[in-house]
Structure 1
Amino acid sequence: MTDSTHYEPKRSAELFEEAQRYIPGGVNSPVRAFRGVGGTPLFFSGGQGAYLLDEDSNRYVDYVGAWGPLILGHCHPAVISALQTQLSKGLGYGASTAAEVEIAKTICKLVPSIEKVRLVTSGTEATMSAIRLARGFTRRDKVVKFEGCYHGHVDGLLVKAGSGALTLGEPDSLGVPRSYTDQTFVLPYNDIDAMKQLFADHGGEIACIIVEPVAGNMNLVPPVPGFLETMRELCTQYESVLIFDEVMTGFRTALGGAQSVYGVTPDLTTLGKVIGGGLPVGAFGGRADIMNCIAPLGPVYQAGTLAGSPLAVAAGQAMLNEIQKPGFYEGLTQRTSQMLEGLQQRADAAGIAFTTNQVGGMFGCFFTEEKAVTRFEQVMACNVERFKRYFHLMLDNNVYLAPSAFEAGFVSAAHGDDEIRLTLDAAEKAFAAL
């Protein structure tokens, strides 16, 4: 392990070159390719606490956290112990286990809007299943989503806004039939008036709204006052299903998820790999009358051979036990605020236009003159070239951020004073260089 303040990705470069011969683009998920920031993507060999170690033995303070689920940090002893215990019993059975019942009880207890829950294997599967369920329950087809929100690579949700705020979406990927996106309305995030107008015009056709209650896929953008409340009112009025996609925010922003932060109750909630302690898993759940429409009780089909993986459930239950300890979220929020305040002070001192957003342990950083970022167009107007330079300057000083200007960051319980200090020292150098 080196103490160098400049990363040398020689081994990562070799691995990336080899990977491109066997894996499309050399990566198994596009953002890993560093296309958004340039340069050679890093290949990691391990993680411990708040740190990642790459294949060249460079050590970084990690603010990606496997894209959110590692709220306890890497290799937390309770999670590792639970996995080791389960490994001695087997990897999986393709059948039900007592552990599935236990984690389902825990999820329902911690998220009161979830009366019943079904485990799946990914966040994408969770959102896809929740939408199918909402359509089956309402006997309607149309779905409402918001610009800048990502709900997995489901065909009907890979859409961009059409020519106007109230038009049906256009396919955002080749391979997605127009007939799929014809069923999806795309609205501007945080635009209350556009939402009201859409329901006035098409409310009787709308099966559901799906929304990130805190948008984490256009960097981090919280809801403005009234935004979530209005969609709750509209869904109730028009008998549509309100789905909160809490794949990112669930157990991340607060113990009860973003819905507990803002006091708005959805009909269905989707959760992601945070409930697996970092292992591949997802879930969707909500009102019992809606969930009872899922097979084998009802006519809406959904299944998963590896759903409720014993390993993922063991790790997830261990994580959920830890985050229920008194003061856990207060400490996480305080550390995140401490870091963001330090970043803002150093940016201001260097004369860099910069602002931040925060909800709990999630954060966003924007190179912009705007004092508050609440809309997709504000995010898109930020100085992306400056972010690219900032990303590499931070990397040079052993801080690993998401390799995109449009991704949220995550602080874990393993981030302490030393890690915050290292981060702020790196940022001071980066802002000076900008």
Structure 2
Amino acid sequence: MNRSEFTLEQWLGWMEQSHPVAIDLGLKRVQTVFNSLSLDFTNVHVITVAGTNGKGSTVAILDAIYRRSGYRTVCYTSPHLQVYNERVRLNGVLVDDASLVAAFNAVDQAREDTSLTYFEMGTLAALWLVADQQPDVALLEVGLGGRLDAINVVDADVAVVTTIDIDHVDWLGDDREKIGWEKAGIFREGKPAVCGELNPPVSIENYSRELGSHLRQVNKSFEYRLQNDTHWIWQGRDFNDASVVLAGLPLPRLPLQNAATALQTILLSDLVCSPANIAQGLRDAQVSGRMEIVEYQGHHFILDVAHNPQSAIYLAQQLKKTEPNGVQLILGMLADKDCSAVIEALSSAVACWHLATLDVPRGQTAEQLSSYVFESGIDNPNLVCHDTVADAINSLVTTDTAVTGTIVVAGSFFTVGGAYPVLNRELL
């Protein structure tokens, strides 16, 4: 069958098999095809967001504020929870199948004999859609690292690094300085850059200085603090280095650290947003699978894709504020994640472990996860193994074995994605 006649499902199936390895960092192949596409971003304000955690939240906050301010947006994020279309949102709406098919066809024609990974093909298709739509602002989330990620073929008008932690060790290494340097690779000479990491590696600032970008770092160039239980204050400087104070801001549903990073990004862009629109955007912003609250069959669920130590620590901190007796945790993870560190980080907030097998590439079995729990030193852990995430949920909500208290689903996008159909949940 000619690929020009492919449906979206057929394109995705072909993309999964078209390159010998799933992750193949490097810009040579992508740059070649990108140049062939001859995409025009002249009138598009491009913001690129890298980081270990917080990328999706930061993009969501930026998108909500810009749309509240009347600007047209395109967001590119990954991975997805349920359908591939989630990866590209046009002014807040999931891209339709026909648009994605048109984009894949355009990339396929431009690539000729160049082999691309699934992510590279998807990224170039997203960039084709940006050029086709010509939004006021394109918000582009880095997939892995920064310097060698496919997104980095585009020059950012503002480059953002959210947080830095050990993750993707096989590709980025196990050293925060090296990881910071890789993520700072999205910075551009003479352009503004933002770092929201509270304990940034020195390599971030060094990279910026050597390159000649204009870096703003939290607690150096900008800062934020709570005013009371419902409001917070942000203070920093804009693109012209003028002092700016935004007080009485509503607390967002997403991490405050990411909101503060997003505000600094907005103040460095060419797109003006009023304090009123900033405040409303903060109220609007939410992300599927990030501290997402769901009520199902009389039970209170929290869905969170936390899958590395940094995100697990944050999740545990939030849970301990409201669940002092611990939660019922449904945990499923991939084999290339630091399962031991994630389990240790979550342990103080867990009353019972419900470990679920993820039947996907790199997925861990429940039994494999249980070995990490026992090796963590937790005294007599209350632990149950399940064949699937669905089985774990159903065992917790059935009449004869029903539990009380909050049920948390975490550990991977695949884990939360597996919970969505069971909980009859729709994407935010």
When the two structures are superposed, what TM-score results if normalisation uses the length of structure 2?
A: 0.31
Superposition TM-score, scaled by structure 1 size:
0.30
